[in-house]
Chain A
Amino acid sequence: MHNAWAHLLWVYYPYLMLASFFFGTFIRFKYFHATITAKSSEIFEKKKLMIGSILFHVGIILAFFGHCLGMLVPQAWTDYFGITEHMYHMFGSLMMGIPAGSLAWIGMAILTWRRMTVARVYKTSTKNDIMVDWVLLITITLGMSCTIYGAFIDFNYRQSIGPWVRSLFTLNPQWQLMLNVPLIYRIHVLAGFFVFGYFPYTRLVHALTLPWQYMFRRFIVYRRRTKVA
């Protein structure tokens, strides 16, 4: 691959997407705070939503933490605890990754099918709502393909993709690491970064407003207006 292209894809593009993620989120929360909702369509359809939403959310949360482990924890650390690459791959990627990914994929497939086919949901969806469903479905499909494909080939993403991701955070991007990564992984990585860049401008932002404070507050909330001077 030409160096300029490699730079574009593995240096500029991920930084652009991350910048979009942080900048967009900041703008959304600061100036469009009232638009941040879960955008529920449960009032229009319940049964498909129940299966789709629960499967997707559980799956995607597991998958998120799985990615954190896989990308952010250096192989040296797991080696230190005597976890071999084979053990990690069998247990971490396959036994954890496939179930989590499957939950997310089945859930997202149901949700996308629901959005496209249930008239009330479809007619009240914006183009953005429809696009975000497809983007997630495609990204998860690619991710699942990587996991399954990875079971048959000898490829250790913790020697290539993982260090590359961490190098992004240390502001010393090692784009060369991505050159010998199988194509399907590279497409998944690109799609994944696109989700991050796209995130703030979609309904997905509701993930950042988890109402933890509810656990600790009293039941009945009173508000009183303060006097103006």
Chain B
Amino acid sequence: MKIKAQIGMVLNLDKCIGCHTCSVTCKNTWTNRPGAEYMWFNNVETKPGVGYPKRWEDEEHYHGGWTLNSKGKLELKAGNKLNKIALGKIFYNNDMPELDNYYEPWTYDYKTLFGPEKKHQPVARPKSQITGLDMELTTGPNWDDDLAGSTEYVNQDPNMQKIESDIKKNFEQAFMVYLPRLCEHCLNAPCVASCPSGAMYKRDEDGIVLVDQERCRGWRFCMSGCPYKKVYFNWKTHKAEKCTFCYPRIEEGLPTVCAETCVGRIRYIGAMLYDADRVEEAASTPDEAKLYEAQLDLFLDPNDPEIVAQALKDGISEEMIEAAQKSPIYRMAVEEKIAFPLHPEYRTMPMVWYIPPLSPVMSYFEGRDSMKNPEMIFPGIDQMRVPVEYLANLLTGGNVPVIKQALYKLAMMRLYMRAKTAGRDFDTEKLAKVDLTETSATSLYRLLAIAKYEDRFVIPQSNKSQFEDAQSEQGTLGYDECAGCALAPQHSSMFKKAEAGESTNQIYAESFYGGIWRD
């Protein structure tokens, strides 16, 4: 056994309102640079829908993730190592998405809106941020936002295509869910395994997957190797970039920007201990529907004294072990089994997990005497074949019973708490049917519904001072080899105005209009 620690995230889809705050704050923090305009380290998709990049879940097209070869051995779906080097794939990566699979980023020429009076009202035309040329807007990020009801987009969703056609018809009354996505920081990361240069790596301390910008040679196999399409190509630096899990914040014990700013408080961050020696074996589980359970099996009980002793021996810090013992992730994923990995069938062992949304189910049977007879929950959930199967395709590789079990549990907890708050009678024996007690139901409710900051984020501070001389390293990180990628030049016009003696108010009046800074 070789114990490693991993920082993971759980997202409670039940509470996601699709406001995109996470995406916007993430973009403002990490990808508002030339070359990175089209990148969204975090994005929120409407499901069913095509996603970003379009149809990213269609691995028969993109060949991301892992597969088992004819001998049952784990292999990158894009082909073995020899494929990349010897067979010329390094000259041309057939599986790589094009810009149009994401979208062509654009801005508007706002300057035309100002000037002398003209006969016709001026129009700010969209201009490509790549070529600077005029653009006809036909697609963009989240073009299908909230359009889950439209057949055009639903039919393009690879998860829907796995569901039998006769039950697809009634999805319109049934189902729409927001899916916020970021890098999964997988235990068995195929991007890391795909990188010929060895530039991608998992941090030993917390499992965060990063791209070493010094060593990246831009071969682009990470982009196509990632089945979630969460590694991007910066066209200006010609290197790969990806979600960093805001590691500078994590090191200080702070949550990621997306989690910190989530208005629905749906995100949880915590530590997990797992057995790194068994990852490959777990990822090689033949049955796709068993991969979720195989991954669960990798996680180790941080309260077991033997595990703690071994973890200390394997070099895991005491802070990390303590965090793992209080981890909300461990509680939701392992103890309560209400959180599930995204597409475990890619054999990546992802570490951003999701609590399936109960809302489509609840709204279905809430009007039907459910309060008088809580038992109605179970046939209610059973009747909702489309959402449940869809969620199973999304979160458990098609394992429907475990999704149902989680939905039963969430629904029962909700009914119990409602009865309790309203002062009604509730037969508490029913809680036992879904593995809950009065105490655990109440504390689960506190974790999910109240979601206090300190309950959501249990992040160990890393003792960075032991590993680096912070003063000498200050300002040494970043994308500095790329001329024009820093933000300061973009704001140079304002600096010049200030130097020329303009007051802050004047600069503000000239530069801030239409709700944004324009300089």
**Chain A residues with a Cβ under 8 A of chain B:** 32-46, 49-50, 53-54, 57-58, 119-120, 123-124, 206, 209-215, 217, 219-228
Instruction: Take A42-B92, A123-B132 as given contacts and tell me if A220 and B193 are in contact as well, using a CB distance cutoff of 8 Å.
Output: yes
Main secondary structure of the interface of A (DSSP, over half): loop
Q: Assess whether A228 is in contact with B468, with CB atoms less than 8 Å apart.
A: yes
Q: Assess whether B96 is in contact with A43, with CB atoms less than 8 Å apart.
A: yes
Q: Assess whether A36 is in contact with B130, with CB atoms less than 8 Å apart.
A: no
Interchain CA distance A39-B220 in the complex, whole Å: 10
Q: Assess whether A43 is in contact with B235, with CB atoms less than 8 Å apart.
A: yes
Q: Assess whether B192 is in contact with A220, with CB atoms less than 8 Å apart.
A: yes
Instruction: Take A219-B192, A223-B203 as given contacts and tell me if A42 and B88 are in contact as well, using a CB distance cutoff of 8 Å.
Output: no
Contact of B432 with A by CB under 8 A? no
User: Given A221-B202, A228-B467, A228-B468, 14 other A-B contacts at CB below 8 A?
Assistant: A36-B217, A38-B217, A44-B98, A50-B92, A53-B92, A120-B99, A210-B85, A212-B85, A214-B195, A215-B81, A220-B188, A222-B201, A224-B205, A225-B468
Q: Which residue of B lies closest to A222 (CB)?
A: B204
Nearest-neighbour CB distance to chain B for A225, whole angstroms, equals: 4
Partner of B466, one of A35, A123, A227: A227
Q: Assess whether A43 is in contact with B218, with CB atoms less than 8 Å apart.
A: no
Interchain CA distance A210-B98 in the complex, whole Å: 24
Set of chain A residues within 8 Å of B200, measured between Cβ atoms: 221
Q: Assess whether A40 is in contact with B218, with CB atoms less than 8 Å apart.
A: yes
Interface residues on B, range: 35 or more
Set of chain B residues within 8 Å of A38, measured between Cβ atoms: 217-219, 238
Q: Assess whether B216 is in contact with A37, with CB atoms less than 8 Å apart.
A: yes
Q: Which residue of A lies closest to B88 (CB)?
A: A54
Q: Assess whether A54 is in contact with B92, with CB atoms less than 8 Å apart.
A: yes
Set of chain B residues within 8 Å of A39, measured between Cβ atoms: 218, 238
Q: Assess whether B214 is in contact with A211, with CB atoms less than 8 Å apart.
A: no
Interchain CA distance A35-B480 in the complex, whole Å: 11
Interchain CA distance A212-B179 in the complex, whole Å: 39
The 10 residue pairs across chains A and B that have the minimum distance between CB atoms: A211-B196, A37-B218, A219-B193, A224-B204, A214-B196, A123-B131, A225-B467, A57-B91, A221-B201, A37-B238
Interface string of B113-132 (1 = CB under 8 A from A): 00000000000000000111
Partner of A43, one of B99, B189, B237, B468: B99
Interchain CA distance A226-B94 in the complex, whole Å: 39
Interchain CA distance A213-B215 in the complex, whole Å: 13
Q: Assess whether B198 is in contact with A211, with CB atoms less than 8 Å apart.
A: yes
Set of chain B residues within 8 Å of A32, measured between Cβ atoms: 481
Interchain CA distance A217-B193 in the complex, whole Å: 9
Set of chain B residues within 8 Å of A222, measured between Cβ atoms: 4, 201-204
Set of chain B residues within 8 Å of A43, measured between Cβ atoms: 96-99, 233, 235
Interface centre among A33, A120, A213, A219, by most B CB within 10 Å? A219
Set of chain A residues within 8 Å of B130, measured between Cβ atoms: 44, 120, 123-124
Q: Assess whether A223 is in contact with B91, with CB atoms less than 8 Å apart.
A: no
Partner of A221, one of B82, B192, B469: B192
